[in-house]
Amino acid sequence: IDIKTLRGATGGVVTIDPGYKNTGSCQSAITFLNGEEGVLRYRGYSIEELAEKADFLEVAYLLIFGELPTKVQLDKFYNDILDEAIVDDDIKKIIDAFPKNAHPMGVLSSLTSALTAFNPSSVNVDSEEEMYNAIVKIMGKFPVLVAWTMRKKQGMPLHYGSRKLGYVENVLTMMFQKPNDEYEINPIVKDALDKLLILHADHEQNCSTSTVRIVGSSHAGLFASLSAGISALWGPLHGGANQAVLEMLEGIKADGGDTKKYMAKAKDKSDPFRLMGFGHRVYKNFDPRAKIIKVAADEVLADLGVNDPVLDIAKGLEQEALSDQYFVDRKLYPNVDFYSGIIYRAMGIPVEMFTVMFALGRLPGWIAQWREMRLRKEPIGRPRQIYTGENYRPFVKLEDR
Ligand code: ACO
């Protein structure tokens, strides 16, 4: 039924669905999600198989272009990305202008938006070729911004990676290589980061992705749309949860490690405290990504010889929640962010950078969704409302109020 017929048939009735709990905003062929059964697939491939067998760049290609790449396609994609893996020198001045204690998500969002000024050709993209050029530009420049955001915070000189390295290896090198130091990539760390980025790469119409699509639907440029998505991801109810989880676990540890006390707080409706990393709008079963990350966290910590007491607190909370009636009734299970921070920390990534790492993983998903929206020529996103304000009131002059 088309919208004109519907309007005619309903007399212009507007449906109201706060939080869009039951409202589809688009048709999409990218990610399949069954929250009741805990199933997640990218372009039909299961997240479990992709996390085990693919690397992040292959998954990025799959999400954006719809098929797993051949070797030739993947090589071309990566070479095109590497050709764009530099940013204008003036970006360094912008980074320098931020205070050292600025939150990296605010810095990343601003820098991504600022890229438009240096790459104006990325804005008016109507053909597939123009879209492709904008896509490889941002796939190349984004990891540089991610790494530099961290290095600026740590007072380290800014650093480019190397054409000889793969995408994820370059991310690690750009983040961690110290001046005059031979940085050796630990294969366990590289594999874990590949997995984490793959698991975060897309999740259908979540808050940040919907933001990217709706901003892009006005034909604002790709980088501006992504910048808006980064801001949406920042919030603790969305991507910011990974930072919030670790801070919560640290808080519990500092308070003596009494998980029962915090379980009680989470259930107390007069207390705003929520168990961060638990619950999901769509999953009413185990988040399949959390299952994979939990195993990866064990492996990374064991391989790196890290003994992290917050992992024990996390496991304790999970056990209690799984048998607690409040959590069982509301189907609140650990989500993707519950264990990811523990891995990031073991890798030496500062807590404030966790959501930035999520953004790096989500980049191909946002791009894929933006490209799909543009190729389908979707109309501008423009929800309606039900007005609840005052009726007509005559204006009262300042001196008469
Ligand atoms: N701790 C305690 N109670 C919770 C939690 C939690 N983490 N999450 C939900 N609940 C309760 C609510 O209080 C509510 O209880 P009620 O029915 O008695 O009022 C019920 O479960 C339903 O919760 P809603 O907030 O209505 O669920 P919604 O789908 O709107 O929210 C959300 C989902 C935002 C993820 C929520 O579960 C939450 O705040 N979790 C903690 C933050 C978090 O981990 N976010 C990351 C999400 S994953 C991601 O974005 C990558």
pLDDT in tens, 341-390: 889 988 999 999 999 999 999 999 999 999 999 999 999 999 999 999 99
Q: Using CA atoms, how far apart are residues 121 and 274, in angstroms rounded to an integer?
A: 44
Cβ atoms of 176 and 337 within 8 Å: the answer is no
Regarding the beta carbon of 241 and ligand 1, being less than 6 Å apart is answered: yes
Place of tokens 């198989």: 49
Q: Is it the case that residue 20 has pLDDT exceeding 70?
A: yes
Global confidence as pTM: 0.92
Of residues 55, 103, 280, 287, which has the active-site annotation?
280
Question: DSSP secondary structure string, 278-345?
Answer: B--SS-SS--HHHHHHHHHHHHHHHHTT---HHHHHHHHHHHHHHT-HHHHHTT--B-THHHHHHHHH
Q: Which residues contact 25 (CB under 8 A, 6 or more apart)?
A: 205, 210, 213, 214, 381
Q: In the predicted model, what is the mean pLDDT of the chain?
A: 93
How confident is the model over 298-326, as a mean pLDDT?
Answer: 89
41-50, 91-100, 177-186: which is most confident: 41-50
4 pLDDT band (50/70/90 cuts)?
confident
Residue 1, pLDDT score: 66
**CA-to-CA separations, 299 to 122, 145, 179, 281, 302, in angstroms, rounded:** 41, 29, 30, 29, 5
Cα–Cα distance for residue pair 72/70, rounded to 1 Å? 5
Beta carbons of 46 and 99 less than 8 angstroms apart: no
Read off the tokens for 33. 């999600």
Paired strand residues for 245: none
Split at pLDDT 50, 70, 90, the class of 246 is very high
**φ/ψ of residue 334, rounded to 5:** -60, 140
Say yes or no: CB of residue 330 within 6 Å of ligand 1: yes
CA–CA dist 242, 100 (Å, integer): 22
For residue range 188-198, list pLDDT tens digits in order.
Answer: 899 999 999 99
Q: Which of 336, 389, 353 is nearest to 150 (CA)?
A: 353
Residue 8 has what pLDDT? Answer: 77
% of the chain residues with pLDDT over 90: 76
Interface pTM (ipTM) of the complex? 0.95
Q: Give catalytic status of residue 280 as yes or no.
A: yes
Q: Calculate how far, in angstroms, residue 213's C-alpha sits from the geometric centre of ligand 1.
A: 24
| Edge-to-edge strand list for the sheet holding 31-34 | 31-34, 39-42, 45-46
Q: Give CA 21 to chain center in angstroms.
A: 20
Q: Is the pLDDT of residue 161 over 90?
A: no
Please tell me the residue having the least CA distance from ligand 1 atom 36.
Answer: 279
pLDDT digits (tens, 9 = 90+) for 70-81: 999 999 999 999
Is residue 103 among the annotated active site residues? Answer: no
Nearest ligand 1 atom to alpha carbon 287: 48
φ/ψ of 39, rounded to 5, equals -110, 135
pLDDT at 12 over 90: no
pLDDT > 90? residue 9: no
Higher pLDDT, 285 or 90: 90
Q: Strand 31-34 and strand 39-42: pairing?
A: antiparallel
- Whose CA is closest to atom 9 on ligand 1? 279
Nearest CA to ligand 1 atom 47: 238
* Separation CA 217–CA 210 (nearest Å): 10
**Strand 31-34, strand 45-46: pairing:** unpaired
CB of 336 sitting under 6 A from ligand 1:
yes
Closest Cα to atom 10 of ligand 1: 279
